């Protein structure tokens, strides 16, 4: 077993801790694949990747930080020492979702983002049905950079985040309508809470045509990659859609409040509005904030994956601080 020292820049903002090497054993006995790996991919997926990009899979490394699908960095050997890196997303059933629709959405987004200046990965192949790769899968180029959760200049970091989101919203790309991520009834954890009751009522009344733009739909610091203090990539596009710009802004603000502070979320809104040249409709902002729930303190540390400290005990208080300020803007 070979161990990787340090934290190499693997692209896509995620990293691995170790990988396994060694030649494969005979076909008659249990064996590891004939490539370095930490996980054994379905042979169908390996063959699909090789057909799609042309070459031989020589290394498979699991990427950590994502929670909805399996993510793998795959090294392709093309002979004469030529190596090519791609990223495979596999919807392996860990969440009950329409995986085929998500693959199609992401493929459409990556195709239409070409030439826009948005640093998104390049689409290599898509298998929405999973008939070739075993499960619904999408193959894309490896985006450069790393997630930065501990920026040295936090305000400059927020400015870069906001500028990137403004640029995404300005692309003019048409996509399917966004899907709401909030319950159609007040969730049990929010019952009897006037703050959340008012917030959900506001969210349910949001017209889908308000400030309609192209949305990333999961824009936040875990999906933005950095190099030398600048944004070098924006990843994770399976929920890309068309809808109110405040859905993206509010979702980013929710994540900023959950991990950092209410002040960080408020500052992001201020910077975004200044750069976009218009105010965000508070109803859309509130609708995005209503995606918060009691499971956030459990799954957020999984996304952080040890890259910074997470104050889970104060998370709901921080989010509710942002929510109160948003409701005052109505």
Predicted structure pTM score: 0.89
pLDDT of residue 33: 53
| Cβ–Cβ under 8 Å, residues 299 and 68 | no
Q: Which residues of the chain have pLDDT under 70?
A: 1-39
pLDDT of residue 39: 66
Alpha-carbon span 156 to 177, nearest angstrom: 32
| Nearest C-alpha neighbor of 38 from the set 7, 75, 12, 69 | 75
Alpha-carbon span 302 to 65, nearest angstrom: 6
Alpha-carbon span 212 to 207, nearest angstrom: 10
pLDDT of residue 20: 25
Q: Which residue ranges form the domains of the chain, and what is each CATH number?
A: 2-141 (3.30.200.20), 154-328 (3.90.1200.10)
pLDDT of residue 40: 74
pLDDT of residue 28: 37
| Cβ–Cβ under 8 Å, residues 93 and 116 | no
pLDDT of residue 256: 98
pLDDT of residue 68: 87
pLDDT of residue 35: 55
Query: Given its phi and psi angles, is residue 318 left (phi above 0), alpha (psi -120 to 50 degrees) or beta?
Result: alpha
């Amino acid at each position: 077993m070979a161990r990787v020292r340090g934290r190499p820049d693997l692209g896509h903002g995620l990293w691995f801790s170790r990988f396994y090497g060694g030649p494969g054993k005979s076909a008659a006995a249990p064996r590891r694949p004939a490539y370095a790996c930490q996980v054994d991919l379905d042979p169908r997926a390996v063959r699909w990747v090789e057909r799609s990009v042309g070459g031989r899979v020589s290394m498979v490394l699991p990427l950590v930080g994502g929670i909805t699908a399996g993510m793998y960095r795959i090294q392709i050997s093309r002979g004469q020492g030529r190596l090519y890196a791609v990223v495979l997303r596999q919807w392996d059933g860990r969440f009950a979702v329409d995986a085929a629709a998500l693959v199609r959405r992401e493929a459409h987004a990556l195709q239409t983002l070409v030439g826009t200046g948005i640093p998104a990965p390049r689409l290599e192949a898509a298998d929405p049905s999973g008939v070739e790769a075993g499960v619904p899968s999408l193959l894309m180029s490896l985006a450069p950079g790393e997630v930065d959760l501990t920026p040295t200049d936090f305000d400059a970091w927020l400015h870069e985040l906001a500028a990137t989101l403004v640029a995404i919203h300005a692309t003019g790309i048409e996509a399917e309508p966004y899907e709401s991520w909030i319950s159609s009834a007040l969730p049990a954890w929010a019952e009897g809470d006037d703050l959340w009751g008012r917030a959900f009522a506001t969210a349910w009344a949001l017209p889908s045509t308000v400030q309609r733009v192209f949305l990333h739909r999961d824009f936040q610091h875990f999906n933005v990659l950095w190099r030398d203090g600048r944004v070098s990539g924006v990843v994770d596009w399976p929920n890309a859609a068309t809808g109110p710009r405040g859905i993206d802004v509010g979702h980013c603000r929710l994540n900023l409040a959950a991990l950092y502070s209410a002040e960080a979320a408020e500052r992001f809104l201020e910077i975004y509005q200044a750069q976009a040249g218009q105010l965000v409709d508070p109803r859309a902002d509130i609708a995005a904030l209503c995606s918060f729930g009691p499971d956030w303190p459990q799954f957020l540390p999984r996304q952080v994956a040890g890259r910074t400290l997470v104050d889970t005990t104060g998370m709901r208080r921080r989010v509710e601080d942002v929510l109160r300020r948003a409701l005052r803007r109505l």
